[in-house]
Structure 1
Amino acid sequence: MTAPMDARTSTMPQPRQFEGRALPLIDAPPAGTRDPRPGLSGVPLEALRDWFAQRGEPAYRARQVADQLWSDRSVDLDGPRTLPAGLRAALGDAFRFDTMAETSVRPADEGLTEKALHVLDDGRTIESVLMRYPARGPRRERATICISSQAGCAVGCPFCATGELGFWRDLSSAEIVDQVRFWSRRLAADARRVTNVVFMGMGEPLLNPDEVVRAAAAISDPQRFGLGARHITISTSGVVPGIETITALAPQYTLAVSLHAVRAGLRDVLVPLNRRWPAEQVVEAATRYADVTGRRVTYEYVMIAGINDTPSDAADMAALLRGRLAHVNLIPMNPVAHTPWQPSGSERIEAFAGTLREAGLHTTVRRNRGTEIGAACGQLAAERAAQPAPAAVARRREILVERSAAALRDRPLAAPR
Structure 2
Amino acid sequence: MQDIFALPIEELQDLFVAAGLKKFRAKQVFQWLYQKSVFDFTAMHNLSKADIAVLQEKFTVLPHSLEILREQNSSDGMTSKLLLGLPDGNSVETVLMHHDYGYSVCVSSQVGCDMHCAFCASGLKGAVRNLTAAEIVAQVYLFNERLREQGAMVSRVVVMGSGEPMLNFDSVLQALDFLHREDTCNMSYRNMTISTCGIIPGIKRLEEQGNPINLAISLHAVKNELRTALMPVNKGYPFVDVLTAAESYSKASGRQITYEYILLKGKNDSPQDAELLSNYLRYKQASVNLIPANPVPEQGFERPSKAAVERFLRILQKNRINATVRKEMGKDIDAACGQLRAKFAKEQEQK
More helix by share: 2
5 Å-filtered alignment, 1:136-215, equals: 140=101, 142-215=102-175
5 Å-filtered alignment, 1:150-299, equals: 150-299=110-259
Q: Report the Cα distance in structure 1 between the residues aligned to 2:79 and 2:165, rounded to whole angstroms.
A: 23
Task: State the aligned residue count.
Answer: 347
1:330 aligned partner? 290
Over the matched positions of the two proteins, sequence identity in percent amounts to 37
Note the aligned Cα RMSD (angstroms). Answer: 2.3
Q: Residues 216 and 258 of structure 2 are in contact (CA less than 8 Å); yes or no, is this contact kept in structure 1?
A: yes
Deviation at 1:162, TM superposition (A): 1.0
Q: Report the Cα distance in structure 2 between the residues aligned to 1:367 and 1:184, rounded to whole angstroms.
A: 23
Deviation at 1:378, TM superposition (A): 6.4
1:116 correspondence with 2:82 = yes
Q: Residues 205 and 235 of structure 1 are in contact (CA less than 8 Å); yes or no, is this contact kept in structure 2?
A: yes
Q: Residues 40 and 95 of structure 1 are in contact (CA less than 8 Å); yes or no, is this contact kept in structure 2?
A: no
Q: Report the Cα distance in structure 2 between the residues aligned to 1:244 and 1:274, rounded to whole angstroms.
A: 17
Q: Which of 120, 125, 130 is matched with 2:96 structurally?
A: 130
Letter in 2 for 1:37: Q
Structure 2 unaligned residues grouped into runs of 5+ = none
Q: In structure 2, do the counterparts of structure 1 residues 56 and 197 end up closer, same or farther at CA, with 3 Å as the change threshold? A: same
1:47 correspondence with 2:11 = yes
SS at 2:311's partner residue?
A: helix
Q: In structure 2, do the counterparts of structure 1 residues 227 and 86 end up closer, same or farther at CA, with 3 Å as the change threshold? A: same
SS at 1:329's partner residue?
A: strand
Higher relative contact order (CA 8 A, sep 6+): 1
SS at 1:290's partner residue?
A: helix
Q: In structure 2, do the counterparts of structure 1 residues 296 and 83 end up closer, same or farther at CA, with 3 Å as the change threshold? A: same
2:61 aligned partner? 97
Q: Report the Cα distance in structure 1 between the residues aligned to 2:169 and 2:48, rounded to whole angstroms.
A: 37
Q: Report the Cα distance in structure 2 between the residues aligned to 1:200 and 1:214, rounded to whole angstroms.
A: 16
Letter in 2 for 1:78: T
Deviation at 1:308, TM superposition (A): 0.8
Deviation at 1:351, TM superposition (A): 2.0
Q: Report the Cα distance in structure 1 between the residues aligned to 2:240 and 2:53, rounded to whole angstroms.
A: 54
Give CA deviations for 1:156-215 in whole Å, capped at 9, x if unaligned: 111111121321111111111111101111122233321221111111111111111111
Q: Report the Cα distance in structure 2 between the residues aligned to 1:345 and 1:76, rounded to whole angstroms.
A: 49
Letter in 2 for 1:102: E
SS at 1:319's partner residue?
A: helix
Structure 1, 285-294 or 369-378: larger mean CA deviation: 369-378
Q: Report the Cα distance in structure 1 between the residues aligned to 2:346 and 2:295, rounded to whole angstroms.
A: 19
Q: Which of 360, 376, 384 is matched with 2:320 structurally?
A: 360
SS at 2:171's partner residue?
A: helix
Deviation at 1:49, TM superposition (A): 3.4
Q: Residues 116 and 127 of structure 1 are in contact (CA less than 8 Å); yes or no, is this contact kept in structure 2?
A: yes
Q: In structure 2, do the counterparts of structure 1 residues 80 and 331 end up closer, same or farther at CA, with 3 Å as the change threshold? A: same
Structure 1, 203-212 or 46-55: larger mean CA deviation: 46-55
Give CA deviations for 1:110-136 in whole Å, capped at 9, x if unaligned: 221111111000111111111112x4x
Q: In structure 2, do the counterparts of structure 1 residues 297 and 94 end up closer, same or farther at CA, with 3 Å as the change threshold? A: farther
Q: Report the Cα distance in structure 1 between the residues aligned to 2:157 and 2:143, rounded to whole angstroms.
A: 11
Deviation at 1:256, TM superposition (A): 0.8
Deviation at 1:85, TM superposition (A): 5.1
2:27 aligned partner? 63
Q: Report the Cα distance in structure 2 between the residues aligned to 1:309 and 1:169, rounded to whole angstroms.
A: 34
Q: Residues 147 and 179 of structure 1 are in contact (CA less than 8 Å); yes or no, is this contact kept in structure 2?
A: yes
Q: Residues 238 and 257 of structure 1 are in contact (CA less than 8 Å); yes or no, is this contact kept in structure 2?
A: yes
Q: TM-score, normalised by structure 1?
A: 0.77
Q: TM-score, normalised by structure 2?
A: 0.91
1:304 aligned partner? 264
Q: Report the Cα distance in structure 2 between the residues aligned to 1:251 and 1:232, rounded to whole angstroms.
A: 10
Q: Residues 148 and 199 of structure 1 are in contact (CA less than 8 Å); yes or no, is this contact kept in structure 2?
A: yes
Deviation at 1:287, TM superposition (A): 1.2
